[in-house]
């Protein structure tokens, strides 16, 4: 990782100075009247240092405060050329990008693996200016109209009296709101599914959510929905992992993204579009394309790939890049335009407004990470943090004094293609506060999504609702949400009601049946394993050749091997131990290869985290209790376990069945191959189904 103390900075080998460049001899002592003080006001260096420190923080984002960023490249396939004149979508055109992933509800210092929607915002530095695709990892949103955004956000944020709970939806105000404002039910269903706890930012789909409009070179238009498809497939944590991770490694997603890039396992996504005719109705198969609480199943409108994004460089400075990046759904380029989706329209106002407070004024697009790579010749002037030294005397249009410049795009003298607002016919309308009737269906897609999941995934949804509602103190809120679940699916409602100890209500309305969409399920497909983590359990007596083979094979297959042993130090092959039994925890590993069965160390340092208290199952007396805990957790989490050489006997000692889906025996030479075969499906799903 780049954060090692040895890594260089531009200041290496240089002399310390004040901000004005004056060389300094001492930054450890303030200027005092004698060694015992008092401190003198005239110490400019002291005052500059403290004043700057006092102002180091800027307001965090009101939502999406916690995030991780990465640089990369987008390459167009040219397949969208017929639909859009956007230059960056043309065949083979390479465009630099910066992506910021985020959670929504938590503060900047909250944990990565909470149950929440994730942001997936991409800045394309195109030759025609910046295009921002500011999406989420869930294709539907909580609300249909942006005027409700403060309401939904206030409901999910910590209670205003004590600022508790942080980064959680499992509390009364959130469920109060979503059970009253039932258009939020579809989005909530996605968040309660495994999608709400991604394994990694690298294994998330991304969605533009709204319907956008593509414009071709002749002004022809089509409606589209944007999708990011991860090369590694969609993969999530299970709840136990998410909870453990919040404590063991709250930076889990940040670390995973940075470590993958650092190791050369560059995360990749294909950008795809679903295409719909741009007609007056703006409907597709009974789905209103302007309703952002609805998605269009891929089975009805296939996602057509139009380009590929690879993230290949970590930020150099978190604040300068990831914190100061400013996205805006209105940052559009010729060839892409917005629609009248009322959620999108309000966003067009909000994102510039919020930067005025967050980044301290109107010149945030001059911050390096926000600077377009295209020529900027605006007539915006002055303001806080103005970095440009504008020349000329006529920042107005029309002018004759600066040669009439800058020219209008498309006019004589300008080579640039203009952004054209699509001339859209607005039907004769009455000014009113009202939604179309097609927005009234709040349940059919929540039901369709739930019924499209695999049995194990449905079980997770049941558990998630039971957990979240179980944390609500108000019985009225719990009962009201159960009513919403009754309208979605009677079995789901019954399972959650059972957990809550409340009666399961019957549906109180007719809900339209929709065909299931198997594409939303994570069960059943197989994916590449790049950058996945394999823990190798060995001890100081383990055979050097076996360790060498497994580590080399892991690298060859693009996996990240971590050697786990009872204590630190060096193993027989000379490799340093990466994790001791004290510092290792199941959440870090996607698969475990067990090469040795270390016995409990007689003189083990007493464990501070209570791991040593794990009871030994019958037959497990000879095993280190921390290894038993590791195996039990990895087993419960339905991860691959490969038993090799002496490791073969370990399952029984940990009280686990040796014959089980996702548990295999292999020689060291074939251990990684066996793990790769199991890892492709992300989990031993059958093992989860058995419980």
Catalytic residue numbers read 64, 136
3-state secondary structure 674-687: HHHHHHCCCCCHHH
Taking the least distance from each CB to ligand HDE, the nearer of 265 and 343 is 343
Q: In the chain, helix, strand, coil percent, each to 5?
A: 30, 15, 50
> Is residue 63 within the footprint of ligand HDE (CB under 6 A)?
yes
> Which helix (H) or strand (E) element contains residue 503?
none
> Is residue 315 within the footprint of ligand HDE (CB under 6 A)?
no
> Is residue 100 within the footprint of ligand HDE (CB under 6 A)?
yes
Number of residues in contact with ligand HDE under rule CB under 6 A: 26
> Is residue 174 within the footprint of ligand HDE (CB under 6 A)?
no
> Is residue 105 within the footprint of ligand HDE (CB under 6 A)?
no
Site mask for ligand HDE (CB under 6 A), range 351-380, x = bound:
x--x--------------------------
State how far the Cα of 320 lies from the Cα of 330, in Å rounded to an integer.
22
In this chain, which of 350, 438, 575, 660 binds ligand HDE, going by CB under 6 A? Answer: 350
Taking the least distance from each CB to ligand HDE, the nearer of 69 and 535 is 69
Angle at 344 (CA atoms; ends 338, 346), nearest 5 degrees: 125
> Is residue 318 within the footprint of ligand HDE (CB under 6 A)?
no
| 3-class DSSP assignment, residue 590 | coil
Per-residue buried b or exposed e for 330-363, using 16+ beta carbons within 10 Å of the residue's own CB: bbbbbbbbbbebbbbbbbeebbeebbeebbeebb
Q: Output the smallest distance, CB 560 to ligand HDE, in A.
A: 26
Q: Output the smallest distance, CB 132 to ligand HDE, in A.
A: 9
Place of tokens 């080998």: 13
Region binding ligand HDE by CB under 6 A among candidate stretches 60-68, 388-396, 509-517, 576-584:
60-68
Taking the least distance from each CB to ligand HDE, the nearer of 67 and 505 is 67
> Is residue 79 within the footprint of ligand HDE (CB under 6 A)?
no
Alpha helices in 380-528 (DSSP H): 444-452, 455-470, 475-488, 490-500
Angle between helices 668-679 and 544-556 (to 10 degrees): 30
Q: What is the dihedral of CA 115, 119, 120, 126, to 10 degrees?
A: -170
Q: Extract the tokens encoding 511.
A: 């809900």
> Is residue 67 within the footprint of ligand HDE (CB under 6 A)?
yes
Q: Output the smallest distance, CB 221 to ligand HDE, in A.
A: 21
Cβ atoms of residues 376 and 369 within 8 Å: no
**Cis-peptide into 406, omega within 30 deg:** yes
Region binding ligand HDE by CB under 6 A among candidate stretches 350-358, 404-412, 577-585, 642-650:
350-358
Q: Edge-to-edge strands of the sheet including 560-565?
A: 579-580, 560-565, 533-537, 591-594, 640-643, 663-665
Region binding ligand HDE by CB under 6 A among candidate stretches 325-333, 460-468, 481-489, 606-614:
325-333
Taking the least distance from each CB to ligand HDE, the nearer of 62 and 420 is 62
Angle at 192 (CA atoms; ends 188, 197), nearest 5 degrees: 120
**Interface of this chain with ligand HDE, residues 175 to 214, rule: CB under 6 A:** 209
Q: Output the smallest distance, CB 445 to ligand HDE, in A.
A: 16
In this chain, which of 248, 346, 374, 420 binds ligand HDE, going by CB under 6 A? Answer: 346
Region binding ligand HDE by CB under 6 A among candidate stretches 11-19, 63-71, 394-402, 504-512:
63-71
Q: Output the smallest distance, CB 104 to ligand HDE, in A.
A: 8
In this chain, which of 123, 202, 294, 347 binds ligand HDE, going by CB under 6 A? Answer: 347
In this chain, which of 149, 212, 269, 527 binds ligand HDE, going by CB under 6 A? Answer: 149
Q: Output the smallest distance, CB 346 to ligand HDE, in A.
A: 4
> Is residue 443 within the footprint of ligand HDE (CB under 6 A)?
no
In this chain, which of 103, 136, 182, 324 binds ligand HDE, going by CB under 6 A? Answer: 136
Task: Tell me which residue of 161, 168, 150 sits closest to 113, measured CA to CA.
Answer: 168
> Is residue 331 within the footprint of ligand HDE (CB under 6 A)?
no
Taking the least distance from each CB to ligand HDE, the nearer of 223 and 492 is 223
Q: Extract the tokens encoding 501.
A: 């100890």
In this chain, which of 119, 598, 620, 625 binds ligand HDE, going by CB under 6 A? Answer: 119
Alpha helices in 181-251 (DSSP H): 185-192, 239-248
**Interface of this chain with ligand HDE, residues 645 to 664, rule: CB under 6 A:** none
> Is residue 133 within the footprint of ligand HDE (CB under 6 A)?
no
Taking the least distance from each CB to ligand HDE, the nearer of 73 and 350 is 350
> Is residue 68 within the footprint of ligand HDE (CB under 6 A)?
no
State how far the Cα of 234 lies from the Cα of 523, in Å rounded to an integer.
10
> Is residue 343 within the footprint of ligand HDE (CB under 6 A)?
yes
Taking the least distance from each CB to ligand HDE, the nearer of 354 and 463 is 354
Go through the chain and tell me how many residues it has.
Answer: 691
Q: Extract the tokens encoding 282.
A: 């703006």
> Is residue 327 within the footprint of ligand HDE (CB under 6 A)?
yes
Q: Which residues contact 12 (CB under 8 A, 6 or more apart)?
A: none
> Which helix (H) or strand (E) element contains residue 240?
helix 239-248
3-state secondary structure 322-379: HHCCCCCCCCCCCCEECCCCHHHHHHHHHHHHHHHHHCCCCCHHHCHHHCCCCCCCCC
The residues that touch ligand HDE, with contacts defined as CB under 6 A, are 61-64, 67, 100, 102, 119, 121, 134-136, 141, 146, 149, 209, 292, 325-327, 343, 346-347, 350-351, 354
């Amino acid at each position: 990782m780049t954060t090692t103390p040895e890594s260089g900075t531009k200041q290496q080998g240089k002399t310390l100075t004040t901000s004005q460049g004056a060389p300094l001899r001492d930054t450890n002592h303030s200027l005092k009247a004698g060694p015992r003080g008092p401190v003198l006001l005239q110490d400019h260096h002291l005052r500059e240092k403290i004043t700057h420190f006092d102002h180091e923080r800027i307001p965090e984002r009101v939502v999406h405060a916690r995030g991780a960023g990465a640089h990369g490249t987008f390459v167009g396939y040219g397949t969208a050329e017929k639909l859009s004149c956007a230059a960056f979508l043309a065949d083979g055109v390479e465009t630099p990008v910066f992506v910021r992933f985020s959670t929504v509800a938590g503060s900047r210092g909250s944990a990565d693996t909470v149950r929440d929607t994730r942001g997936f915002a991409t800045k394309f530095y195109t030759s025609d200016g910046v295009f921002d695709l500011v999406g989420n990892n869930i294709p539907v949103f909580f609300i249909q109209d942006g005027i409700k955004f403060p309401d939904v956000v206030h409901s999910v944020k910590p209670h205003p009296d004590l600022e508790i709970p942080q980064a959680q939806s499992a509390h009364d105000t959130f469920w109060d709101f979503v059970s009253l404002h039932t258009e939020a039910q579809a989005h909530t269903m996605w968040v309660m599914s495994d999608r709400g706890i991604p394994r990694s930012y690298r294994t998330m789909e991304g969605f533009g959510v709204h319907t956008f409009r593509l414009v071709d070179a002749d002004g022809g238009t089509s409606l589209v929905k944007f999708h990011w498809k991860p090369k590694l497939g969609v993969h999530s944590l299970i709840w136990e992992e998410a909870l453990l991770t919040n404590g063991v490694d709250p930076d889990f997603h940040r670390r995973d993204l940075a470590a993958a890039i650092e190791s050369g396992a560059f995360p990749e996504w294909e950008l795809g579009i679903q295409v719909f005719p741009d007609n007056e109705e703006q409907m597709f198969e009974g789905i209103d394309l302007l309703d952002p609480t609805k998605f269009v199943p891929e089975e009805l409108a296939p996602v057509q790939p139009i380009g590929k994004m690879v993230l290949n460089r970590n930020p150099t400075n978190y604040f300068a890049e990831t914190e100061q990046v400013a996205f805006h759904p209105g940052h559009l380029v010729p060839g892409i335009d917005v629609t009248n989706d009322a959620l999108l329209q309000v966003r067009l106002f909000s994102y510039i407004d919020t930067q005025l407070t967050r980044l301290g004024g109107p010149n945030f697009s001059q911050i390096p990470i926000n600077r377009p790579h295209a020529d900027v010749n605006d007539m915006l002037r002055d303001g806080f943090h103005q970095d440009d030294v504008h020349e000329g005397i006529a920042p107005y249009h029309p002018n004759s004094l600066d040669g009439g410049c800058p020219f209008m795009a498309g006019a004589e003298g300008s080579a640039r293609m203009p952004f054209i607002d699509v001339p859209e016919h607005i039907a004769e309308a009455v000014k009113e506060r009202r939604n179309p009737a097609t927005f009234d269906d709040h349940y059919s897609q929540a039901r369709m999504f739930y019924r499209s999941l695999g049995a194990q995934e449905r079980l997770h949804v049941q558990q998630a609702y039971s957990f979240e509602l179980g944390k609500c103190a108000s019985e009225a809120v719990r009962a009201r949400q159960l009513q919403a679940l009754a309208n979605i699916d009677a079995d789901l409602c019954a399972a959650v009601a059972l957990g809550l100890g409340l009666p399961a209500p019957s549906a109180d309305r007719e809900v339209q049946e929709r065909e299931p969409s198997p594409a939303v399920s994570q069960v059943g497909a197989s994916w590449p394993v790049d950058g996945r983590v394999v823990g190798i359990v060995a001890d100081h007596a383990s055979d050097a050749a076996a360790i060498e083979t497994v580590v080399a094979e892991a690298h060859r297959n693009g996996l990240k091997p971590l050697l786990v042993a009872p204590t630190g130090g060096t193993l027989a092959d000379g490799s340093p131990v990466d994790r001791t039994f004290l510092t290792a925890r199941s959440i870090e590993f996607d698969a475990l290869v067990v090469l040795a069965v270390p016995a409990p160390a007689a003189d083990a340092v007493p464990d501070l985290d209570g791991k040593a208290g794990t009871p030994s199952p019958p037959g497990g007396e000879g095993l280190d209790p921390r290894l038993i805990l590791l195996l039990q957790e990895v087993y419960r989490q339905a991860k691959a376990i490969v038993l090799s050489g002496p490791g073969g006997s370990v399952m029984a000692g940990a009280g686990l069945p040796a014959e089980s889906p996702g548990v295999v025996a292999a020689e060291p030479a074939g251990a990684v191959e066996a793990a790769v075969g199991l890892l492709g499906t992300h989990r031993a799903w059958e093992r989860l189904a058995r419980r």
